[in-house]
Copies of this chain bind each other. A is one copy, B any other.
């Protein structure tokens, strides 16, 4: 039975798993679980993941959720996945676990909360929450500084000093890509000071293309819609479907 990946490309961990599968040529079926339509709460999906979150996978008899656990499983279960994605070397592997664990309470927590409360909430029928956004910005800024000064220190272009990308690079970069939804001013304030972070995003994108751009298309579509929404009433609108790739190149 073919590997099934349940995902919504608007979810950053879903994108990480899909990009990993595509880059490594895994034979898989992508099944869309539309979060905007609350499909994650359907009885059918909760049989797969009772936590009602994407991504989740079914491989044979195994049902699995939590994107880091999925990425590790796929890297181990599918022969042909190059070692650099999840190295056999114990010390290298340990450092990848360390950055993935750190990610949960730092970059992930800060970025998701900031984007929601600063920009995305009205599109989901929720009010913006400046207080929550300010609190999240502290965590997000501190996380980006730590990536710049610690996780990207050394000569390697990728996390934990590696010359080749690992599952951690895909996971964390997909998270940071959420910042594309913000207004230019906010994104520049957050990412501007972090040159290594910007180079690392570009390195990860290059190492996983064309899949990285293709899987992120939906994010840029939503960004465009958010911008149109904001400009509504002025008669102006920005961007076109074909400008997405240009944005991706020029803005990060």
Binding site for B on A (CB under 8 A): 50-51, 61-62, 64-70, 72-73, 76-77, 90-91, 93-95, 97-98, 100-102, 104-105, 108-109, 146, 149-150
Contacts and interface: CB of A to CB of B under 8 A. Distances in A.
A105 B108 CA distance: 10
Contact of A76 (B65, B68, B90, B100): B90
Contacts of A66: 97-98, 101-102
Nearest to A109: B105
A150 B73 CA distance: 20
Contact of A69 (B50, B62, B101, B146): B101
User: A-side binding surface: helix, strand, loop or mixed?
Assistant: helix
B98 A101 contact: no
A146 B66 CA distance: 15
B50 A94 contact: no
Nearest to A103: B104
A51 B102 contact: yes
18 contacts: A50-B146, A61-B91, A62-B91, A62-B94, A64-B95, A64-B98, A66-B98, A66-B101, A66-B102, A67-B101, A68-B97, A68-B101, A69-B98, A72-B97, A73-B90, A73-B94, A76-B93, A77-B90
A94 B64 contact: yes
A65 B95 CA distance: 9
A68 to B, nearest CB: 5
